[in-house]
Structure 1
């Protein structure tokens, strides 16, 4: 399976991965932002949503807060 570039929407404790490689990504991003989600500065390269979310959780738990203030591509 091909690697994809994921961004993450965050609202409270809810985290939603979104592949930028999906054809409908722009419309999904617009819709989620209208629902008051924020876009995380952490970007992940992964094979699928589950792998992306697992990496996001691991990095978010172990990285210092100041690391996540900048865009991080993993």
Structure 2
């Protein structure tokens, strides 16, 4: 959850820090570099997505195992 919140904050910061106007042209031409937060935003977003998928899978696996355990206790 913490990585998801961090990803949202970084995305908001990247949106605000993204170069516009003449600085965007300079970045596109390779004259200047993009701010670090703009460069790191996709990486942090991908990490948040992967963490969310793993967390969701673990949650549903836990629910499934709990249900199976409860059924086994009822059948005994």
**TM-score for the superposition, normalised by structure 2:** 0.24
Question: Radius of gyration: which is bigger?
Answer: 2
**TM-score for the superposition, normalised by structure 1:** 0.24
Question: Higher strand share goes to which structure?
Answer: 1
